Amino acid sequence: MSEKENTNINIPLLKTINSPKDLKKLGIGQLDTLCQELRTFIIDQLCKNPGHFGSSLGTVELTVALHYIYNTPYDRIVWDVGHQAYSHKILTGRRDRFNTNRKFGGLAGFPNPDESEYDTFSAGHASNSISAALGMAVASRLLNENKHVVAVIGDGSLTGGLAYEGLNNASSQPNDLLIILNDNDMAIDDNVGGLKDYLVKMTTSHTYNKVRNDVYQKFKRKNLISEKGKNFILRFNNSLKSLITKQQNIFEGLNIRYFGPVDGHDLKGLIRILENIKDLKGPKLLHIHTIKGKGYKPAEESATEWHAPGKFNKDTGERIISQAKDQPQLYQNVFGHTIVELAQKDKRIVGITPAMPSGSSMTFMMKEFPERSFDVGIAEAHAVTYSGGLSKEGLIPFCNIYSSFMQRAYDQVIHDVALQKLHVIFCLDRAGLVGEDGPTHHGVFDLAYMRCIPNLVIASPYNEHYLRHLMYTATYGNEGPFVIRYPRGQGELKDWECEMKLLPIGKGRKMKDGKDMAVITIGPIGNTANAAISELEKEGYSIAHYDIIFLKPIDTDLLDEVASKFRKVVTIENGVITGGLGSAVLEYFSEKNYKDIEVTRIGIPDEFITHGSIPELNRLCEIDVPGITKRLEGVLQNKPALKPVL
């Protein structure tokens, strides 16, 4: 952001903060003003440049306190997911570029070590902060460095299994890790009033903890206590605290010292507590309560809606939603309507999603059949195995998971579903390039990583009608696991409703015949390819087009026909070319010893693709109409198949 763009924003103090060093020059009394200005700035920016809104407003005080107390970037702050890290970015030298957040060529929407030394670990998928920070804390010990390491994790991310694996391991390794649990939704502990407040103040007191440590050291020097004895006393202490407060605390059960809960918006209180526990030895957890959307009333009142609201009028709180009149539905909505339609006729059908009911449109099913719809939280591995259990007892689960998040449940797909040939229907939303959330969220690997698993049927629809057909076929035309992948955004058809029909599994279709070249596509990118073919045929070329539909089992009759008629073959997919459709075609041609066939693969290169709008990224990877046209024309003219320059 330029200085000129800042003139309408009243943030005089924030304009002076270009790094945490500047922050440390402020007096305590100035920090509350800084927090107010941070909120003003974030609201002003996100009303016109959409991003993750509510979480970032909720962590303003926490972020200021952390950078005020700790010596960053030497000391490490590890953010979980990164939805809550906007204040962190603004305070660490990126204020004047924050208007480029999530834009092509601009700041990433999540912490990114390539972007700033203050971003200590890549974030995107949830629940990894504790494990990553624990590794850093142990490394600090081994290297004899005195680094403080802090992991910031939200209550939603704490539902992920990886978080519990990190917690379980924390007390078994020599480390001084601080975990901050940002609890903005889920009530983990009951409020026990004055006694609770007293215990928080006492247990975080520097004097109390010094006396506590001095006593332990004296006992240790006199050989009156061993490490085993220390752990026994810790457990006894934790049990006593649980008895007094009438709370059972999982963290102290894992020998992680627990402090809280405390008000995450009480800046002075946060600074005092962080200062007091900063140098305590051993793993510890500070539990803070925050309000999503703090400081902006509409967001405070509707946390889900304002998680990522898009553009809005900052003065009225009115969201600016572009009504898609007389336009195709979102693919996710076609899924949502179709599963309800199927469930109305079949009581065996159930819906499962890991914390993405709105994003996947599973909300349609939840509204119509709440008793047959399950949001299991951020727990993809559990969602898959849970679906397997439902299937084992005769139900038909539709397990809807974003493509990139399904990577977290790979083992469960193999061992708990595919191995047992269970009738679980995996619907992979957000397949392909997804846009502004960038490389952690692009769903480009699913075709490749699913293709090698036995017993799976893998398919992708050409349009909304075929999505409905595939959902119906997965339900009634198949008895084992079935994978359907489809992209983010609008479909192709205004009239998306149709009578569903069974498709022959493993059979594609010829879209059009041709003489000069065969193009084989899978999924909605076939529409883009069709447009490119039309452009080239205006120049006199004759190009055949096949929609393979199923990656597995692949249509070998179709491939035999292609091999018998064409010397030039091009495969096109909105996924990585390494291991996907193109690889499958090459493997088959090689196995059949088909010679003199020139196969060109078009798809996502073997690189992590940056963030930006979907049209911008399609252009970058040359999978938009001009890019595919250029690549096809190059093949037709016998030019070298050049890869996109990213």
| Distance from C-alpha of 298 to C-alpha of 292, rounded to nearest angstrom | 10
What does the pLDDT read at residue 426?
Answer: 98
| Distance from C-alpha of 114 to C-alpha of 608, rounded to nearest angstrom | 13
Residue 582: helix, strand or coil by DSSP?
Answer: helix
Would you say residue 396 has pLDDT above 70?
A: yes
Band (584; pLDDT cuts 50, 70, 90): very high
User: How many residues comprise the chain?
Assistant: 646
391 and 475, same domain (yes or no):
yes
Give whole-number Cα distances, 288 to 56, 253, 630, in Å: 15, 19, 55
28 and 61, same domain (yes or no):
yes
Report the pLDDT averaged over residues 129-142: 96
Known binding positions for Mg(2+): 155, 184
| Distance from C-alpha of 268 to C-alpha of 277, rounded to nearest angstrom | 14
In this predicted model, which residue has the larger pLDDT, 281 or 209? 281
In this predicted model, which residue has the larger pLDDT, 185 or 578? 578
Domain count, the chain: 3
Would you say residue 255 has pLDDT above 90?
A: no
Band (177; pLDDT cuts 50, 70, 90): very high
Give whole-number Cα distances, 263 to 48, 91, 184, in Å: 30, 22, 11
538 and 473, same domain (yes or no):
no
| Distance from C-alpha of 94 to C-alpha of 42, rounded to nearest angstrom | 13
Would you say residue 243 has pLDDT above 70?
A: no
Catalytic residue among 37, 61, 252, 380: 380
Alpha helices in 321-419 (DSSP H): 331-345, 357-360, 363-368, 380-392, 403-406, 410-412
Percent of the chain predicted with pLDDT > 70: 88
The answer to whether 531 touches 627, Cβ cutoff 8 Å, is no
491 is a domain residue: no
What does the pLDDT read at residue 226?
Answer: 60
312 is a domain residue: no
355 and 272, same domain (yes or no):
no
**Residue 361: other Cβ atoms inside 10 A:** 26
In this predicted model, which residue has the larger pLDDT, 400 or 160? 400
Q: Bridge-partner residues for 432, per DSSP?
A: 443
The answer to whether 475 touches 425, Cβ cutoff 8 Å, is yes
Phi and psi at residue 261, in whole multiples of 5°? -75, 150
Report the pLDDT averaged over residues 353-364: 94
What does the pLDDT read at residue 221?
Answer: 65
Known binding positions: 83, 124-126, 155-157, 184, 296, 380
What does the pLDDT read at residue 203?
Answer: 54
Angle between helix axes 625-636 and 525-537 (nearest 10 degrees) is 50
427 closest CA partner among 412, 411, 405, 449? 405
Q: Is 284 a catalytic residue?
A: no
Known binding positions for thiamine diphosphate: 83, 124-126, 156-157, 184, 296, 380
**Residue that is last in its domain, among 450, 485, 520:** 485
What does the pLDDT read at residue 186?
Answer: 46
What does the pLDDT read at residue 344?
Answer: 98
What does the pLDDT read at residue 208?
Answer: 53
The answer to whether 621 touches 607, Cβ cutoff 8 Å, is no
Q: What share of the chain is helix, strand, coil (3-state, %, to 5)?
A: 45, 15, 40
Q: Which of 224-238, 319-333, 605-619 has the highest mean pLDDT?
A: 605-619
What does DSSP assign to residue 93?
Answer: I
Band (305; pLDDT cuts 50, 70, 90): confident
Mean pLDDT lowest for which of 209-218, 326-335, 389-398, 482-491? 209-218
430 closest CA partner among 490, 485, 365? 485
What does the pLDDT read at residue 1?
Answer: 41
What does the pLDDT read at residue 319?
Answer: 84
430 is a domain residue: yes
Report the pLDDT averaged over residues 577-593: 97
283 and 153, same domain (yes or no):
yes
Q: What is the pLDDT of residues 451-504, one digit of tens each?
A: 999 999 999 999 999 999 999 999 999 999 999 999 999 999 999 999 999 999
Query: How open is the CA angle 457-460-465, to the nearest 5 degrees?
Result: 120
320 is a domain residue: no
279 and 364, same domain (yes or no):
no
**Residue that is last in its domain, among 485, 520, 542:** 485
270 and 127, same domain (yes or no):
yes
Report the pLDDT averaged over residues 318-328: 74
Q: Bridge-partner residues for 519, per DSSP?
A: 545, 570
379 is a domain residue: yes
Residue 179: helix, strand or coil by DSSP?
Answer: strand
Residue 179 carries which side chain, given as an amino acid letter? I
What does the pLDDT read at residue 192?
Answer: 37
First to last CA, the chain: 26
Q: What does DSSP say about strands 509-512 and 543-547: parallel, antiparallel, or unpaired? A: antiparallel
**Exposure string over 85-113, b if 16+ CB within 10 A, otherwise e:** bbbbbbbbbbbeebbebbbbebbbbbbbe
Band (198; pLDDT cuts 50, 70, 90): very low
481 and 526, same domain (yes or no):
no
Residue 3, burial from CB neighbour count under 10 angstroms (0-12, 13-18, 19+): exposed
The answer to whether 574 touches 601, Cβ cutoff 8 Å, is no
Q: Which structure tokens are listed for 267?
A: 């800046």
Cβ neighbours of residue 188 closer than 8 Å, sequence gap 6 or more: 155, 181, 261, 287
Band (578; pLDDT cuts 50, 70, 90): very high
Q: Mean pLDDT across the chain, nearest whole number?
A: 89
Band (254; pLDDT cuts 50, 70, 90): confident
User: What is the domain extent for residue 388?
Assistant: 331-485
Q: What is the pLDDT of residues 86-127, one digit of tens each?
A: 999 999 999 999 999 999 999 999 999 999 999 999 988 889
Instruction: Read off the CATH number of the domain in which 547 is found.
Output: 3.40.50.920
Would you say residue 522 has pLDDT above 50?
A: yes
Give whole-number Cα distances, 573 to 141, 213, 253, 635, in Å: 47, 61, 49, 17
Band (204; pLDDT cuts 50, 70, 90): low
| Distance from C-alpha of 154 to C-alpha of 105, rounded to nearest angstrom | 29
What does the pLDDT read at residue 209?
Answer: 58
**Residue 486: other Cβ atoms inside 10 A:** 28
Would you say residue 565 has pLDDT above 70?
A: yes
The region that residue 572 occupies, defined by phi over 0 for left and psi between -120 and 50 for alpha, beta otherwise, is beta
Give whole-number Cα distances, 477 to 94, 277, 393, 599, in Å: 54, 60, 19, 32
Report the pLDDT averaged over residues 221-242: 54
| Distance from C-alpha of 602 to C-alpha of 417, rounded to nearest angstrom | 31
Q: Compute CA 299 distance to the chain's CA centroid, rounded to the nearest angstrom.
A: 21
Catalytic residue among 292, 451, 488, 552: 292
596 is a domain residue: yes
Mean pLDDT lowest for which of 170-174, 435-439, 476-480? 170-174
| Distance from C-alpha of 11 to C-alpha of 34, rounded to nearest angstrom | 8
Cβ neighbours of residue 588 closer than 8 Å, sequence gap 6 or more: 554, 556, 559
Report the pLDDT averaged over residues 8-14: 88
Q: Is 380 a catalytic residue?
A: yes
155 and 75, same domain (yes or no):
yes
Would you say residue 202 has pLDDT above 80?
A: no
What does DSSP assign to residue 643?
Answer: P
Q: Compute CA 492 distance to the chain's CA centroid, rounded to the nearest angstrom.
A: 26
| Distance from C-alpha of 376 to C-alpha of 476, rounded to nearest angstrom | 26
287 is a domain residue: yes
127 and 261, same domain (yes or no):
yes
Q: Is 421 a catalytic residue?
A: no
- Residue keyed to tokens 């050989």: 223
The answer to whether 445 touches 576, Cβ cutoff 8 Å, is yes
- Residue keyed to tokens 């559990």: 382
26 and 139, same domain (yes or no):
yes
Catalytic residue among 94, 408, 430, 488: 408
Instruction: Read off the CATH number of the domain in which 136 is found.
Output: 3.40.50.970
Report the pLDDT averaged over residues 225-253: 56
630 and 513, same domain (yes or no):
yes
602 is a domain residue: yes
**Residue that is last in its domain, among 302, 317, 343:** 302
Residue 362: helix, strand or coil by DSSP?
Answer: coil
| Distance from C-alpha of 276 to C-alpha of 207, rounded to nearest angstrom | 9
